[in-house]
Amino acid sequence: EAGVAQSPRYKIIEKRQSVAFWCNPISGHATLYWYQQILGQGPKLLIQFQNNGVVDDSQLPKDRFSAERLKGVDSTLKIQPAKLEDSAVYLCASSPFRPQGASGNTIYFGEGSWLTVV
C-alpha cells in the first residue's frame, strides 16, 4: 500500500514570497490533515478535511495560510506571504474515517515538506 505522498520535499523562499505544498493521501482515506512541525517540537495540527469539507481549521493562520481539497483526494497548502517564523516541516497525514463514537483513528504521516524562509 502506498503511503502519504508529499511534494516538494524541500523549499527555500524569501520572506514575503509564496509557496504551495501538495499532498496525496493513502488511497481510500477520507480524512486528511496538515500539520506544522517546528524544529525540536512535536507536530501541531493546522487543518483537518473530511472528504472535501473542512472539519477543523481553528489553528490555521488564515491571514496567510490557505488549504483546499477540492475533489476529496489531493490537497494543497499555500502560504502567502511567508514569514521567517513559517520555517518548519509541513506534514500531511491521512486516516480512514470511522463513525462517531469509535475510539481512535490511526493517522499516517507523509515524509513532510521542509520549508526554509530567509
Partner 1 sequence: GENVEQHPSTLSVQEGDSAVIKCTYSDSASNYFPWYKQELGKGPQLIIDIRSNVGEKKDQRIAVTLNKTAKHFSLHITETQPEDSAVYFCAALISSGSARQLTFGSGTQLTVLP
Which residue ranges make up the site for partner 1 (CB under 8 A)?
4, 31, 33, 40-45, 48, 50, 55-56, 91, 95, 97, 100, 102-112
Give Cα separations from 65 to 77, 79, 101, 114 (angstroms). 7, 5, 31, 16
Q: How far is the CB of 46 from partner 1 (least distance, A)?
A: 12
Q: How far is the CB of 16 from partner 1 (least distance, A)?
A: 27
Contacts (Cβ under 8 Å, ≥6 apart) of 104: none
Give the 3-state secondary structure percentages of the chain, helix then strand then coil, rounded to 5.
Answer: 5, 45, 50
Q: How far is the CB of 97 from partner 1 (least distance, A)?
A: 7
Between 2 and 42, CB nearer to partner 1: 42
Alpha carbons within 13 A on the beta-carbon side of 80 = 9
Q: How far is the CB of 22 from partner 1 (least distance, A)?
A: 15
- Only one residue has cell 472528504, namely 51
Rounded CA-CA distance 36/40 in Å is: 12
Between 16 and 98, CB nearer to partner 1: 98
Between 35 and 65, CB nearer to partner 1: 35
